[in-house]
Structure 1
Amino acid sequence: MQQNHDVLEQAIEWYVKHETAPLSLAQKQDFEQWLNEHDSHQQAWQQVTHSQQIFANLPLSSAQSLSTITKANQSRRHVLKSIAALSISSWLTWRYQKELGISAHLADHHAQIGEQLQLTHLTQAQVALNTHSAINLDTNTLWLKYGEAHIVCQVPLAISSPHCHFNAELGDEFILFDDDKQVRFSALNQRFDIVAHGQSYTVDKGHTLIADRNSTRIVETPRHMTSWTKGMLSVSQMPLKQFIAELSRYLHGSIRVAPAAAQLHISGTFSLTDPKQILSQILSTFPELTLNGVPNVWQVINKKP
């Protein structure tokens, strides 16, 4: 994933060089060499140039939002790079949300971004779906397609997700989260034996397994991993970067935190009724922070100069 990001960054750099001044002969040769080094370079270049065309057709209100990044003291090169990054993100977000919409409508039950859905009519289990989540359910199997679910079993069930599976008995209560990056399993009322990324684990009551393809750890369940079931996001001394990553799950688009602001810490309990209001609260709490970019598409939190 990081490699793909690096190639996109290189493509953006080349795009900026093309737009800011005519390339020298040496630069043209370097560009051709870079372009032909790997298929991923050609794909990234096509993605950059294609996204510019899409971005040019965005509604005026979105284009006007770019004024937040085009302050007088910014160079044309910096502005072009920002626009390139914004437009790529616009295109990727559009494509991802389109695919997500198709996937969601193929699921038995799904919660949209920012929604928390209580499924009280099911006979197999009591289920609460967190933001951006979907399940399929039959007589004795519950499949978490993506996202996060709080489940209390009313019958024995086989539980599966893309990277995790286990058997649950009547009365078992747990939270399961699974996306492309990470699996999180919280044992709420007893010990569980589960399989995550092909490995077997035992998770005691009150503990959470956090696993990705490179590492696994079991910790006492942090309160932010369960507070959503009560409609809250509750944290204690959480780094801003991690907090925004959690909050972003409830918001459309992408929000990133610049390194200069990443290590600020957040404590408090926030209502998930209006996730955008939480973002406003954070900016009010830390007046040294600024939020730039295109709302609902791509934004960056940074410290003011």
Structure 2
Amino acid sequence: MLTHRHEPPLDPKVLEEAAEWLMRLSESELSDTERAEWECWKVSSPERDRAWNRAQLLQSKLGGLPATLAMSTLDRPSHPDRRRALGKLALLLAAVPTGWGTWKLAQQQQWSADYRTAVGESRELSLADGSRITLNTDSAIDVLFDTRQRLVRLREGEILVQTAPDTAALARPFRVDTGQGRMQALGTQFIVRELQARTHLAVLDGAVRVELAQSTQQAPLIVAAGQRTDFSSHDIGQLTPTDRNASAWTQGMLVVDKMRLADFVSELARYRRGFLRCDPAIAGLRISGAFPVSDTQRTLNMLVQTYPILVSGHLSGYWVTLSPA
């Protein structure tokens, strides 16, 4: 069984080469000359051999390329759509064996949801009862109002919730569900984000009652305004003060104060397509300031102008690395 858990990351140029060969093989039969060139490429270096092993594993998972990456009609190598498709394919190769399953699941969750946003997009909704929901980048929710409750199901991503008093006679509770538990609003404005099998909750106004999905021993927790916590389906983390800039994303900004560059890059990556990587040599560099998430390239330019950072791009901008200047 192939595994990449302990292997160093592959050179993006090699991944792009593997993506190109995989796409060419999926489009048509290679000539004898092309096939000989391909065979020579595969064995020319250990990195290329690793990259092609990933390509084979990805192909076995997919049973062929997904339709969105099958670019057989774009026979010009410089065609921008083909370049974008190669970038996406190279990113999948970088993430094998988990990348395809994660990408496919995210697509299914996004496109079957009642409301969704694309990467880099935000959206504000007004619900039937007057409550408002703001979806952050790459987020998806379902909304179910019935005679018993007002329910929002967060499938993926992050939302800001501002509840309104129920106009129905029964005064139905307003609840937000994630895979880890249920939050009931108590006259509230709050932020919910699902990340790495944990739900992150920050209460801006009022209070929120948290009930875990699978714990029968953990009593429900009331989180008051100015507090935040995170929880899994079995345990609730400590209460800490809410970051005063927690809702800055609703204004299109990422506001940080002495944040590690590695953590900053992880946050910024949510707002752009592709792969954004931080060299471990500068991972601990502390970043402060207000940065626009609607223009991530401008944010990267701001970092270069302010800090000893060099930004280099590959795969038509799909793969970007921050390294020491």
Pair in the same fold by TM > 0.5: yes
- Matched with 1:167 is 184
1:110 shift after superposition? 0.6
Q: Is the 8 A contact 2:92 2:99 kept in 1?
A: no
User: Residue 138 of structure 1 aligns to a residue in which SS?
Assistant: strand
Asked whether the equivalents of residues 252 and 296 of structure 1 are also in contact (C-alpha less than 8 Å), the reply is no
Whether the 8 Å CA contact 1:291–1:300 is kept in 2: the answer is: yes
**1:6 pairs with 2:5:** yes
In the other structure, the counterpart of 2:161 is 151
The range that moved more, 113-122 or 188-197, is 188-197
For residue 200 of structure 2, what is the aligned residue in structure 1?
184
Cα deviation, residue 268, structure 1: 0.8
- What TM-score do you get using the length of structure 1 for normalisation? 0.70
- One-letter code aligned to 1:6: R
SS in 2 for 1:223: coil
Superposition deviation, residue 114 in structure 1: 0.3
Match of 2:240 in 1: 219
Relative to structure 1, is the Cα distance of residues 230 and 12 closer, same or farther in structure 2, using a 3 angstrom cutoff?
closer
One-letter code aligned to 1:47: R
- Displacement of 1:167: 1.9
Distance in 2, matches of 1:214 and 1:248, equals: 28
Contact 2:9/2:94, CA 8 A, preserved across alignment: no
> Cα offset for 1:215?
8.2
Distance 1:120 1:193, change over 3 A: closer
- Is the CA contact (8 Å cut-off) linking 2:259 and 2:287 kept in structure 1? yes
The range that moved more, 117-126 or 183-192, is: 117-126
User: SS of the residue aligned with 2:193?
Assistant: strand
1:255 equivalent in alignment to 2:255: no
For 1:271, the equivalent position in structure 2 comes to: 292
Instruction: Compare the two structures and name the one with the higher helix fraction.
Output: 1
- Does 2:299 align with 1:299? no
Structure 1 residues 44-78: Cα deviation after superposition (integer angstroms, max 9, x where no partner)? 985343459979x895569999xxxxxxxxxxxxx
Superposed CA deviations along residues 108-145 of structure 1, whole A, max 9, x for unmatched, are 11111101101135435211000011110011211111
Partner of 1:137: 143
Provide, for residues 163-202 of structure 1, a one-character-per-residue CA deviation record: whole Å limited to 9, x for no partner.
Answer: 2312224x32111001334321011112322135645433
Paired position in structure 2 for 1:40: none
In the alignment, the residues of structure 2 paired with residue 88 and residue 260 of structure 1 have an alpha-carbon distance, to the nearest angstrom, of 25
Q: CA deviation at 1:20?
A: 2.4
Looking at structure 2, the residues matched to 258 and 217 of structure 1 have their Cα atoms a distance apart, in angstroms, of: 31
Summarize the Cα distance change of 1:109–1:256 in structure 2 as closer, same or farther, 3 Å threshold: same
| 1:49 and 2:56 are equivalent in the alignment | yes
Alpha carbons of 1:163 and 1:297: their partners in 2 closer, same or farther (altered >3 Å)?
A: farther
- Counterparts of 1:274 and 1:295 in 2: how far apart (Å)? 17
Counterpart of 1:105 in structure 2: which amino acid? W
| Cα distance, 1:97 vs structure 2 | 4.3
SS of 1:300 mapped into structure 2: strand
% identity of equivalent residues: 26
Cα distance, 1:244–1:165 mapped onto 2, change above 3 Å = same
Structure 1 residue 294, shift from structure 2 partner: 2.8
Structure 1 residue 93: deviation in Å? 5.9
State how far apart, in whole Å, the 1-side matches of 2:271 and 2:126 are: 22
* TM-aligned CA distance change 1:135 to 1:87, over 3 Å: closer
Deviation of 1:285 (Å): 2.0
- The 8 Å contact of residues 185 and 207 in structure 2, kept in 1 or not, is answered as no
- Distance apart, 1:264 and its partner CA: 1.0
The 2-side partners of 1:260 and 1:62 are apart by: 34
- Structure 1 equivalent of residue 94 of structure 2: 89
Q: CA deviation at 1:298?
A: 3.1
Name the amino acid aligned to 1:194: V
**Cα RMSD after superposing both structures:** 4.0
Please, what TM-score do these two structures have when normalized by structure 2?
A: 0.66
Uncovered stretches (5+) of structure 1, i.e. residues with no partner: 22-43, 66-83
Q: Aligned equivalents of 2:83 and 2:177: distance in 1?
A: 45
Partners of 2:313 and 2:115 in 1: CA distance: 35
What displacement does 1:279 show?
1.8
SS of the residue 2:282 aligns to: coil
User: What aligned pairs does 1:120-135 form with structure 2 within 5 A after superposition?
Assistant: 120=126, 122-123=128-129, 125-135=131-141
2:265 maps to 244
Aligned 8 A contact 2:91 2:275 in 1: no
Q: 1:122 to 1:230 in 2, by over 3 A?
A: farther
Aligned partner of 1:208 in structure 2 is 228
1:20 matched residue in structure 2: 45
Tell me the matched-pair count: 261
